[in-house]
Amino acid sequence: MEDTRPIILVVNDDGITARGIKFLIEVASQIGKVVVVAPDSPQSAMGHAITISKPLRLDKVELYQDIDMYQCSGTPVDCVKLAVNQVLHRKPDLCISGINHGLNNSINVLYSGTMSAAMEGAIEGIPSIGFSLDDYTAQADFTHCLPFVKDICLQVLSNGLPEGVLLNVNFPNIKNIKGLKICRQAKAKWKEEFDERLDPNKRKYYWLTGVFQLMDEGEDTDVWALKNGYGSIVPVQFDLTAHHAMADLNNWVF
């Protein structure tokens, strides 16, 4: 009998053995046929990087019963490209990324490998969602997020998403999440600092540190929602055109 379930591509940036992707596979398996293509090692904060200077490896692995899984030597975006072109040979019905160990709210969406994988799915015309939890530990507990993850996936499969739009979903690290809020991305930035150290050969090296600076007190932002016990859903897009600035620029004389 032909399998008519939706095909769900599962990706992440924490690596194919991460605990977060295990929980995402568990939810996706309740909804459709799951295919996993994920990095063979952690690729956090890779943004939308792709591999062009060395060959990519793609190996089938068996970590969970009855799940088609492949590990890729490249970035999260590489995983989506290979999944569509070499594994599935078609667009899946849904692309979900995560569940990330750590938040990807506010400005963090620009650096996130989790969200870049979902964004690549959206570029390919696939309804796509990135999921993240405010817990950076390897043994993070994602169980309290799963009902919300499933509901969001079902809503997207049922209703679709506007062209060029994907969802950035973040959860607070509390057991009793109050619900979900549709939010805008909070205005914030990282104030970077570099910790200067010496290696055993007395050569300098630098370790990036920083402080998250919130410049937005709005109660409609993802930061506010998470601080107040809600999961946040931010619709984002890959069109970076600043449409509001075009009128002013058209007044320039060239």
| pLDDT confidence tier of residue 191, bands split at 50, 70 and 90 | confident
Residue 2 has pLDDT above 70, yes or no: no
60 occurs within a structural domain: yes
Exposed e or buried b for every residue in 97-110, given b needs 16+ CB within 10 A? bbbbbbbbbbbbbe
159 occurs within a structural domain: yes
Query: Is residue 65 within 8 Å of residue 38, measured between CB atoms?
Result: no
Q: Number of structural domains, the chain?
A: 1
| pLDDT confidence tier of residue 234, bands split at 50, 70 and 90 | very high
Q: For 100-122, how does the pLDDT look when each residue is reduced to its tens digit (9 = 90+)?
A: 999 999 989 999 999 999 999 99
250 occurs within a structural domain: no
| pLDDT confidence tier of residue 246, bands split at 50, 70 and 90 | very high
Query: How far, in Å, are 20, 40, 115, 179 from residue 172 at the CA level?
Result: 15, 27, 17, 11
Mean pLDDT over each residue of the chain, to the nearest integer: 94
- Predicted local confidence at residue 1, as pLDDT: 59
Residue 45 has pLDDT above 70, yes or no: yes
211 occurs within a structural domain: no
Q: Is the peptide bond before 152 cis (omega within 30 degrees of 0)?
A: no
Cα–Cα distance measured from residue 177 to residue 171, given in angstroms and rounded to the nearest whole number:
8
193 occurs within a structural domain: no
Q: For 59-95, how does the pLDDT look when each residue is reduced to its tens digit (9 = 90+)?
A: 999 998 889 999 999 999 999 999 999 999 899 999 9
Candidate from 58-72, 77-91, 127-141, 204-218 with smallest mean pLDDT? 204-218
Domain residues for the domain of 112 are: 7-185+217-240
Nearest CA-CA partner of 77 in 122, 33, 34: 122
Query: What H or E segment, with its residue span, contains residue 59?
Result: strand 58-61
| pLDDT confidence tier of residue 227, bands split at 50, 70 and 90 | very high
User: How far, rounded to the nearest angstrom, does the alpha carbon of residue 7 sit from its chain's CA centroid?
Assistant: 18
191 occurs within a structural domain: no
| pLDDT confidence tier of residue 4, bands split at 50, 70 and 90 | confident
2 occurs within a structural domain: no
Average pLDDT over residues 225-230: 97
Kindly report the CATH number assigned to the domain that includes residue 31: 3.40.1210.10
200 occurs within a structural domain: no
